[in-house]
Amino acid sequence: MAKQVIKGEDGKEYVMSEKKPLTRKPWFWAIIIIIFILLAGGLGTIAYQKHKAAEEAAALKAKQDRFNDEEKNFSDYSYKVGNKLRSMDNKISKLWYGAIYNDNGVTVDGKNYTDFNKAISAQFDVWNENGDTDTLNSNAKYLASNYKRMETNVTSSSRESFAKDKKIYNDIKSYYTLVTSPSGTYATYSSNTTNANNKLSTDLQ
């Protein structure tokens, strides 16, 4: 702070201090720098939060889009597998019933059978040879992997829809087991597959 000697009216000399302007004081610029840093930090935080929110929204949309794509495939393959199971179920039921109750038994691939176990086994041989078994298993395998991909892309918006898909998937698995591994009596097989078919039909409505 500069000092200046001034002579008063009484003839005495007085020492006057000359104040520096604020802009020449170190603490003034220190405060300005601190304010600037705080403002820059605040603006940077806001910008980061906006960027983060935009990234999260984009990721959520991408996840939902993946789910929607997988769900469409799931719907298509549910019908494919379901229809193939119904077709095979109907054939097994007719052979089982015919082998027991028809006087002449049933015919499979040109051969006559009166034993339902042998008739059904022969029919599975036909399906194995003509590719029906491979088609069913291939579609069922794709459906399983498709379901897993849906499961990993569920969002809050698709949770309710996925719950319905889960029921369809579990009912298809139950029906698949009954049809591909027929067991028990004709009455129990017929009752179990009818119930399974009805449940799946309701699911797919």
Q: What are the CA-CA distances from residue 37 to residues 33, 40, 101 (Å)? A: 6, 5, 92
Residue pair 19/1 in contact by the 8 Å Cβ criterion: yes
The structure's pTM equals 0.74
Q: Residue 9 in 3-state DSSP?
A: coil
Per-residue tens of pLDDT for the chain, all 205 residues:
555 555 556 666 655 555 666 566 676 667 777 776 767 666 566 665 676 667 877 888 999 999 999 999 999 999 999 999 999 999 999 999 999 999 999 999 999 999 999 999 999 999 999 999 999 999 999 999 999 999 999 999 999 999 999 999 999 999 999 999 999 999 999 999 999 999 999 999 8
Residue by residue, DSSP assigns 46-75 as HHHHHHHHHHHHHHHHHHHHHHHHHHHHHH
Residues 67, 157: Cα–Cα separation, whole Å:
10
- Residue given tokens 């119930």 in the structure block: 195
